[in-house]
Amino acid sequence: MKHAIMFSDIVGSTRLYERLGDTAAAECVNQCVSRMSEIARSFEGVVVNTIGDEIMCSFGSADAAVFAANRIHEVFNAGPMPGFDVKLSLRIGIDYGEVVARDDDIFGDVVNVAARISNIAVGNQTIISEKVIMGLSYELRSKTRQYDRITVKGKSEILTLFEVMREDRDVTIMRNSITSTVGSQVQSLHLIYRGKSVTVQSNSKAFVLGRSVTSDLVIEAGLVSRTHAYCVYRREKFILIDQSTNGTFVKTAEGREVYLRREEIPLVGRGSISLGESSREDNGQMLQFICS
């Protein structure tokens, strides 16, 4: 049986803890998760898992999942969380297809893809797959627009993604074509680590960096997560996406260092990537990158 799988989580929850303190932030997150769960259930959704500031839900139809996502954004855009002087922004990703249910949990490719899609969305945005589009009624399908074409870890084919348009969200008009043809196109990403050089091509699958021996490039250090980050080719650029515990530091050729945690950044020109801690620590887990 087909299900629509939705992931919804808070954008910037780390800063929330810095602003409110651990106790108040934890309570705010708990209230947010409860409200998201209530909304999902009101559209006949089943809350399968809650992990920190994220919920995973299953719906019997693509329409129900998108209606629930729209309602979640509407509620949280209305104002700050009751009892807290903060307004939360959520990002949502949805995929649709056959799943495997076992021991009150749901597994399968649809779950994995929905999780990846949610990480691509930004605050106040819902991103859905082409399979969701095919399952939507005409009313909802007409309120979407093509957003991107990407590769994700574990999938060989390119996924076409769509954004759900809502009346309560200001959006920028996009070009008709997802891929720009202006300017030079980057085709290769060269990664250099401890004297070893690896080249990632534009048509390659997601390239994984991490401590696990199954990673495409193994970085052996205590602060590096098993699957720390990965690189994908999107819109003529290589994008580095962090999914680690300790974050990733990217340093440009000009010397500017950017910290990522569950975020992404385009890799431009040349520079360095340090997993787990700043490149200033010179800890042996830094690699160089060159885009060409």
Task: Note whether 45 and 92 are within 8 A (CB).
Answer: no
For residue 26, which of 47, 53, 50, 48 has the smallest C-alpha distance?
A: 53
CA dihedral 247, 92, 7, 78 (to 10 degrees): 110
Pairing of β 207-210 and β 217-218: parallel
Residue 31: inside a domain: yes
Task: Note whether 45 and 36 are within 8 A (CB).
Answer: no
Task: Note whether 54 and 15 are within 8 A (CB).
Answer: no
Residue 180: inside a domain: no
Residue 154: predicted pLDDT:
67
Q: Are residues 130 and 194 in the same domain?
A: no
Chain-centroid distance, C-alpha 138:
27
Q: Are residues 155 and 65 in the same domain?
A: yes
Q: The domain spanning residue 28 has which CATH number?
A: 3.30.70.1230
Q: Are residues 140 and 199 in the same domain?
A: no
Q: Are residues 126 and 199 in the same domain?
A: no
Helix (H), strand (E), coil (C) string for 128-190: EEHHHHHHCCHHHHCCEEEEEEECCCCCCCCEEEEEECCCCCCCCCCCCCCCCCCCCCCCEEE
Under 8 Å CB-to-CB from 172, ≥6 apart: which residues?
Answer: none
Which of these three, 121, 149, 164, is where a domain ends? Answer: 164
Q: Are residues 133 and 58 in the same domain?
A: yes
User: What's the domain range around 130?
Assistant: 2-164
Alpha carbon distance, N-terminus to C-terminus of the chain: 45
Q: Are residues 243 and 285 in the same domain?
A: yes
For residue 245, which of 277, 206, 199 has the smallest C-alpha distance?
A: 277
Residue 177: predicted pLDDT:
37
Q: Are residues 147 and 7 in the same domain?
A: yes
Q: Are residues 123 and 32 in the same domain?
A: yes
Q: Are residues 135 and 7 in the same domain?
A: yes
- Side by side, the strands of the sheet bearing 207-210 are 217-218, 207-210, 229-234, 237-242, 264-267
* Number of folded domains that form the chain: 2
Report which residue type is found at 19.
R
Whole-model pTM: value is 0.60
Q: The domain spanning residue 199 has which CATH number?
A: 2.60.200.20
Q: Are residues 160 and 23 in the same domain?
A: yes
pLDDT in tens, the chain (292 residues): 789 999 999 988 888 888 899 999 999 999 999 999 999 999 999 999 998 899 999 999 999 999 999 999 999 988 888 888 888 989 999 999 999 888 888 888 999 999 989 988 888 899 999 999 999 998 898 889 888 777 766 667 788 889 998 876 554 444 433 333 334 478 899 999 988 899 999 888 788 899 888 888 999 888 898 889 989 888 788 999 888 888 999 998 778 889 988 888 999 999 999 999 887 766 667 899 999 8
Measured distance CA(199)–CA(187) in Å, rounded: 10
Q: Are residues 14 and 55 in the same domain?
A: yes
Q: What are the residues facing 254 on neighbouring strands? A: none
Q: Are residues 107 and 8 in the same domain?
A: yes
